[in-house]
Amino acid sequence: MTNEPRRAGAGVADAAADQLRRLVRAGAFTSTGRLPSERDLVEQLQVSRTTVRRALAALAEEGLVSPAPQSGWFVNEAPLGEPPRTLISFTEMARRRGVVPGTRVLSHVVREATLDEAQQLQTGPLSPVVEVERLRSLGDTPICIDHTVILLERTPGIEDVDLSDTSLYAEMGALGTEPARSNFVVEAIGADEREAELLEVPVGSPLLLGAETAFDAVGRPILIGSTRYRANVYRFYSTMLRR
């Protein structure tokens, strides 16, 4: 008789684990990779917090999820990506997952804008810009190479900022010019020799190339850029409306 409550509790935890397992495998949490809080899971599954914790522990043993201190639970190997219609930085994406982002600056130069860049940035020819190329990582795993051209007249001071292991958006915001919206186009490409070496993938491996134009709060373009993601670790989300 003394084992009945324990067995009953285990049965409820198994059922809760089954529900969570189905949700994880169905991709319910892949927009950020983060599971709801324990409190929200208690309400969603209609079980106790102890049962939720047992269910999460069971999924962790299977390798489906893992905890991050003070950040919650995350789906293992969920593709990185921005939530639909939300402009966030690589650093913010990583921290929402509870992982440590890394950034190595490959080049950082101040130069004059090309004619094409000046047209995209809606500025005069030969306007000064900062060109930055960075290798972004999650832990020890290289994830993407981003190349950015920032118009100096709209973010003065950015030329003196060390962009190693920091968020470009956050640094721009600290200088008074934070991106408010972005036009983003994605296409598939194959990795060339340099990209393959930096991202530690075979030459010709699929990459997702994202081309961006970011605008400030009044609609002026402030930067243009491109990011080459390893296709197996990044997913682009969008919301479509039928009019």
Strands 206-215 and 221-230 turn out to be antiparallel
**Do 34 and 138 share a domain, yes or no?**
no
**Do 140 and 211 share a domain, yes or no?**
yes
Distance between CA atoms of residues 120 and 141, nearest Å? 33
DSSP string, 19-64: HHHHHHHTTTTTTTSBPPPHHHHHHHHTS-HHHHHHHHHHHHHHTS
3-27 mean pLDDT: 74
178 occurs within a structural domain: yes
182: nearest Cα among 82, 93, 87, 84: 87
Q: What does the pLDDT look like over 196-222, one tens digit per residue?
A: 999 999 999 999 999 999 999 899 999
Residue 19 is part of a domain; what is its CATH number? 1.10.10.10
Percent of the chain with pLDDT over 70: 84
| Residue 171 CB contacts under 8 Å (≥ 6 apart), including other chains | 158, 161, 163
pLDDT of residue 2: 44
**Do 191 and 121 share a domain, yes or no?**
yes
65-89 mean pLDDT: 68
236 occurs within a structural domain: no
63 occurs within a structural domain: yes
For residue 116, give both structure tokens: 């094409």
Domain that holds residue 190: 90-230
Query: Looking at 44-53, 57-66, 149-158, 197-206, which range is the least confident one?
Result: 57-66
pLDDT of residue 70: 61
**Do 69 and 94 share a domain, yes or no?**
no
**Do 214 and 123 share a domain, yes or no?**
yes
Distance between CA atoms of residues 150 and 133, nearest Å? 11
Rg of the chain (C-alpha set): 22
pTM of the model: 0.67
**Do 120 and 196 share a domain, yes or no?**
yes
Q: What does the pLDDT look like over 88-103, one tens digit per residue?
A: 788 877 776 667 789 9
- What are the phi and psi torsion angles at 49 (to 5°)? -65, -35
**Do 106 and 44 share a domain, yes or no?**
no
51 occurs within a structural domain: yes
**Do 99 and 64 share a domain, yes or no?**
no
**Do 171 and 106 share a domain, yes or no?**
yes
**Do 110 and 167 share a domain, yes or no?**
yes
Number of domains in the chain: 2
75-96 mean pLDDT: 68
242 occurs within a structural domain: no
Reported as a pLDDT band with limits 50, 70 and 90, residue 3 is: very low
pLDDT of residue 66: 79
143: nearest Cα among 95, 198, 88: 198
Q: What does the pLDDT look like over 156-198, one tens digit per residue?
A: 999 999 999 889 999 999 999 988 899 989 999 999 999 999 9
**Do 40 and 99 share a domain, yes or no?**
no
Burial class of 82 by CB neighbour count within 10 A (0 to 12, 13 to 18, 19+): buried
The whole-chain average pLDDT of the chain stands at 85
**Do 110 and 156 share a domain, yes or no?**
yes
Distance between CA atoms of residues 89 and 169, nearest Å? 6
pLDDT of 37 > 80? The answer is yes
154: nearest Cα among 133, 175, 171: 175
More confident call, 220 vs 243: 220
Could you say which of 24, 44, 75 is where a domain stops?
75
163: nearest Cα among 140, 131, 191: 131
83 occurs within a structural domain: no
